[in-house]
A and B are shown apart, each in its own frame.
Chain A
């Protein structure tokens, strides 16, 4: 397992990408599933940054690879509970004139990961978001093929 703490800034993403690439080096995930790990980390991290209270410490990311899958934990300390697995569902079918940027990050995360779990330690005001990304061949749909739109398979 590898672990690193990152400043609560969007420009930390470059360092997070390098850290994630190195942590995924031993995994058997193909490019699409690796990008799924990157996307889930980015969306969860930037959401934590967006809602950071003043004085909150750095966000810690842990990554381990086992049985072909990537297991990732983001540790967000000094915060009130926010469960990304319970974020409201988003509609993806409005026409262009009714679409506005934003709101897709957690939706995409839930679509791309194979499991996701959130817990909050009230005593230490620490949230932990854990997710797993399996190899393409272990997923219920064919590699490179998106499940039907709206088929949210996140485990709450």
Chain B
């Protein structure tokens, strides 16, 4: 299961659960509504696959093109490893460890 809260609230967006290939289209449709500099609270994100990474990358590129960014915080160590294996730790602000 995946939950995303705070999309339209203007503060941090919270994501929880599993961001996998089955959930990626839903996540992308919600992230497409984001604008500016957005903090994504990943404290309760338990799992991410390459499909989920694709959602984050597409969103980050769109936001950066508009002088914004997608900043992550609270990333769990095993998910941080996935970012490092992918080289995404070099293109995302991962903040402090979760």
Contact = CB atoms under 8 A, between A and B. Distances in A.
Interface stretch (A55-63, A78-86, A90-98, A120-128): A90-98
Contacts of B47: 35, 38-39
Interface in B63-93: 64, 77-78, 80-82, 84-87, 90-91
B78 to A, nearest CB: 4
B18 A146 contact: no
B50 A104 contact: yes
A145 B82 CA distance: 10
A96 B85 contact: no
Interface residues of B, number: 28
B82 A39 contact: yes
Identify whether the interface residues of B are mostly helix, strand, loop, or mixed: helix
B54 A13 contact: no
A146 B20 contact: no
Interface string B39-52: 00000001101110
28 contacts: A13-B21, A13-B22, A17-B20, A32-B77, A35-B46, A36-B78, A39-B47, A39-B49, A42-B20, A42-B49, A43-B49, A43-B50, A46-B21, A92-B87, A95-B90, A99-B87, A99-B91, A101-B53, A101-B57, A103-B50, A104-B50, A107-B86, A108-B86, A144-B81, A146-B81, A146-B85, A149-B84, A149-B87
